[in-house]
Chains A and B, each alone.
Chain A
C-alpha cells in the first residue's frame, strides 16, 4: 500500500534535548511538508521541500531543522531552541511541486510530541 508513515506515534522529550521525527513516503511524490498542529490553531507550516537536497522555511521554522537527502524521506528535528515544542506534528506530500496545477496533499498519521 502506498502512503506516508510517521514514527514514532508518541514521543516524549526532556527539556534541552533535540529529537528527530521520521517521515517516509512511498508515493514517489516530489514535494514534502511538515506542519505543526496545536489545539484551536489549525495547521501551521514549518518547512517544505520541493526536490531532494533543497528545502524552504515555512511560517514557523524557528527552532526546527530538516534534511532531504532522499526523495522518500524528510525528517524533522525539533531542537532545544524551540520554546514550546509540545504539539501534534504532521508530515504531508504532493505529487508535483505545484507550480502549475493543483496537487492533492496527502497526510501521514502524525507524531504527538510531549516535552516533560
Chain B
C-alpha cells in the first residue's frame, strides 16, 4: 500500500463551484502535510502547508488534516478557470534521517467557465 493515496480524477467542475480534494495516508509518523499545485509542464508550487491536525485557510483555499482518520483535504471556494491544474498532496516527517516528502499521485482538476 502506498503511504499517501490520492484519487487521480480527473475532476471537472463549473466555475464558482466548491472543490473538495482528498488524500489518505498510512504512516502515523507524518507530521507535516502539504498541497502543491502543478500547471501543465511546470514544476509544482506550494499552495498550503499544515502541521499536525486542524484547518488552515488562505483566501479561497482551506487545508484540513484529521490525524485520527489519517485524512487530508483541500477545499477551493468560488473555483476559477485559473485553478485548473493538478493538485498534489504530500506528507513528511523529520527525524534522524533527512526531511523527505511522500507524494500522492495528484488529482487533475478542470474548472469549466
Q: Is the CB of B46 within 8 A of A110?
A: no
B57-91 interface code vs A (CB 8 A; 1 in, 0 out): 00000000000000000000000000000001000
Shortest distance between the CB of A74 and any CB in chain B (Å): 14
Q: Which residues of A contact B46 (CB under 8 A)?
A: 104-106
A24-58 interface code vs B (CB 8 A; 1 in, 0 out): 00000001010000001111110010100000101
Q: Is the CB of B98 within 8 A of A98?
A: yes
Q: Is the CB of B43 within 8 A of A42?
A: no
Chain B, 30-61, CB within 8 A of any chain A CB: 31-32, 36, 41-46, 49, 51
Q: Is the CB of B94 within 8 A of A99?
A: yes
Q: Is the CB of B100 within 8 A of A48?
A: yes
Q: Which residues of B contact A31 (CB under 8 A)?
A: 98-99
Q: Which residues of A contact B45 (CB under 8 A)?
A: 107
Decide yes or no: A99 and B6 within 8 Å by CB, A90-B43, A107-B45, A110-B43 being known contacts.
Answer: no
Q: Which residues of B contact A56 (CB under 8 A)?
A: 98
- Interface of A toward B, CB cutoff 8 Å: 4, 6, 31, 33, 40-45, 48, 50, 56, 58, 88, 90, 92, 94, 96-110, 112
Give me 12 A-to-B residue pairs in the complex whose CB atoms sit less than 8 angstroms apart, sorted by A's number. A4-B43, A6-B43, A40-B105, A43-B103, A88-B41, A98-B94, A100-B94, A102-B31, A102-B32, A102-B94, A103-B99, A107-B45
